[in-house]
């Protein structure tokens, strides 16, 4: 069957979103997401609870995706799933479900790398970048600069050696007494704060790598010292603290992205992952687009955070290459691009 008529069901279950999407003719028809609110009470994703919630959500989510696309099981041509990276117990739910469906329907099975899919989310809607481009993938679990040579040909040229930037947002937000996940809350406060009020230490790693743990410690010690003299320090300076922390994180990201763009001579710059929703990051990218003649690509928010639409997009390109896997495939929590 020509790839242009292929209908693919894609499943994402790497962390705390259970998601299903149907792609037909290379177009994403829908993107059904069940978010797991159970983790909010714990201040972070609890792996055991994530697996249980995936088990509860996966059948209704897949059902809704198929109904919404007006497609019956028997019309499907392939099943795709996120193989990794992610939480083992969470990945196993989607992997086992996809394998069972492919076996029962006797259709090909496609494994997808979650990080590659974040990059390929840029091909869901227009405008689409040309090759090669750089993608800064920033989420709660990853911080990578990826050189994208083609749909399925990507190299990670820089990454964090400790915390992911989303984790740095969440952990510093927690120090300010904000809820979980703190990134969006910190972003909101930062919008009415002074980003130059406080200075925090910014680590500079070799090449295009990042480190965010130094900044986290610097914020922790600074707050501890200030609170000794003034117990109301955080309350009185919340917006300025949020803006200053956010600026420090964005400075570190942009420094490496500018270095990579200059040294590799690539001025098409894309961002992906949950942190690409950050308004400060978006503003800074747009400023740099004007001053450095960058062409910047930011996907719709729906396709920035974890979603099966991006898995379906990746699966479409893999189907074209006939990149299928057999039933011996298993989840891979530390899968690399
Ligand atoms: O990609 P994602 O939904 O999940 C994975 O980690 O794979 O990313 C979630 C991360 C969290 O750390 C969250 O705090 C952060 O993205 N985030 C933000 C914003 N929206 C989400 N960080 C800063 N500003 C935001 N507006
Ligand atoms: Zn993700």
Q: State the CATH number of the domain containing residue 108.
A: 3.30.420.40
What pLDDT score does 41 carry?
78
State residue 320 phi and psi, 5-degree precision.
-60, -35
Q: Whose CA is nearest to atom 10 of ligand 1?
A: 140
Please check whether residue 209 lies inside any domain of the structure: yes
**β partners of residue 144:** 137, 159
240 alpha carbon to ligand 1 midpoint, in Å?
21
The residues lining ligand 1, judged by C-beta closer than 6 Å to any ligand atom, are: 15, 139-141, 166, 169-170, 181, 183-184, 187, 273-275, 277-278, 305-306
Find out whether 290 and 74 touch, Cβ atoms under 8 Å: no
What pLDDT score does 40 carry?
80
Instruction: Specify whether 99 is located in the same domain as 178.
Output: no
Please check whether residue 329 lies inside any domain of the structure: no
Domain extent at residue 55: 3-120+304-320
Task: Tell me the pLDDT tens digit for each residue of 253-263.
Answer: 999 999 999 99
Instruction: Specify whether 226 is located in the same domain as 277.
Output: yes
Please check whether residue 170 lies inside any domain of the structure: yes
* pLDDT reading at 130 higher than 60: yes
* Residues by chain with Cβ below 5 Å of ion ligand 2: 139, 306
Tokens matching residue 287: 């400023």
Instruction: Specify whether 21 is located in the same domain as 100.
Output: yes
Among the listed residues 152, 158, 105, the one whose alpha carbon sits nearest the alpha carbon of residue 134: 158
Task: Tell me the pLDDT tens digit for each residue of 198-241.
Answer: 999 888 898 999 999 999 999 999 999 999 999 999 999 999 99
Strand order in the sheet with 153-159: 153-159, 143-150, 133-138, 268-272, 295-297
State residue 84 phi and psi, 5-degree precision.
170, 175
Q: Is 168 helix (H, G, I), strand (E, B) or coil?
A: helix
Instruction: Specify whether 137 is located in the same domain as 106.
Output: no
* pLDDT reading at 3 higher than 80: no
Q: pTM of the predicted model, to two decimals?
A: 0.94
Task: Tell me the pLDDT tens digit for each residue of 140-188.
Answer: 999 999 999 999 999 999 999 999 999 999 999 999 999 888 999 999 9
Strands (E), 5-68: 7-12, 17-24, 27-28, 32-35
What pLDDT score does 330 carry?
97
Neighbour count for residue 335 (Cβ, 10 Å): 19
Please check whether residue 263 lies inside any domain of the structure: yes
Residue range 311-331: average pLDDT?
A: 98
Please check whether residue 63 lies inside any domain of the structure: yes
What pLDDT score does 185 carry?
97
Instruction: Specify whether 315 is located in the same domain as 260.
Output: no
Out of 139, 172, 249, mutate this one to test ligand 1's pocket (max ligand atoms within 8 Å of CB): namely 139
In angstroms, the CA 7 to CA 27 distance is 9
What pLDDT score does 180 carry?
84
Packing angle of the helix pair 279-292, 233-264 (nearest 10 deg)? 40
Q: Whose CA is nearest to atom 13 of ligand 1?
A: 183
Number of domains in the chain: 2
């Amino acid at each position: 069957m020509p790839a242009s008529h292929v209908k693919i069901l894609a499943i994402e279950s790497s962390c705390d979103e259970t998601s299903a999407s149907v792609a037909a003719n290379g177009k994403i028809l829908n993107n059904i997401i069940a978010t797991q609110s159970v983790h909010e009470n714990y201040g972070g994703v609890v792996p055991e609870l994530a697996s249980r919630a995936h088990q509860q959500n996966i059948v209704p989510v897949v059902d809704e995706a198929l109904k919404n696309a007006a497609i019956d099981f028997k019309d499907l041509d392939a099943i795709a799933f996120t193989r990794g990276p992610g939480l083992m117990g969470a990945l196993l739910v989607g992997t086992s479900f996809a394998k069972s469906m492919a076996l029962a329907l006797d259709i090909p099975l496609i494994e997808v790398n979650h990080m590659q899919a974040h990059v390929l989310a840029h091909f869901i809607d227009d405008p689409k970048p040309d090759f090669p481009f750089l993608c800064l993938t920033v989420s709660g679990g990853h911080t990578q600069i990826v050189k994208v040579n083609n749909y399925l040909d990507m190299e990670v040229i820089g990454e964090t050696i400790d915390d992911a930037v989303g984790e740095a947002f969440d952990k510093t937000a927690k120090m300010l007494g904000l809820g979980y996940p703190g990134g969006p809350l910190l972003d909101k406060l930062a919008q009415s704060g002074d980003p130059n009020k406080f200075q925090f230490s910014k680590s500079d790693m070799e090449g295009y790598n990042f480190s965010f743990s130094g900044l986290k410690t610097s914020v922790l010690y600074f707050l501890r010292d200030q609170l000794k003299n003034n117990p109301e320090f955080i309350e009185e300076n919340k917006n300025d603290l949020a803006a200053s922390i956010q600026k420090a994180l964005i400075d570190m990201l942009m420094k490496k992205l500018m270095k990579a763009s200059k040294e590799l001579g690539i001025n098409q710059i894309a961002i992906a992952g949950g942190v690409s929703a950050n308004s400060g990051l978006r503003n800074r990218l747009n400023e740099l687009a004007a001053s450095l003649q960058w062409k910047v690509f930011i996907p719709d928010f729906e396709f920035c955070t974890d979603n099966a639409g991006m898995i379906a997009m990746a699966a479409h390109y893999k189907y074209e290459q006939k990149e299928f896997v057999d039933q011996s495939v298993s989840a891979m929590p530390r899968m690399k691009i």
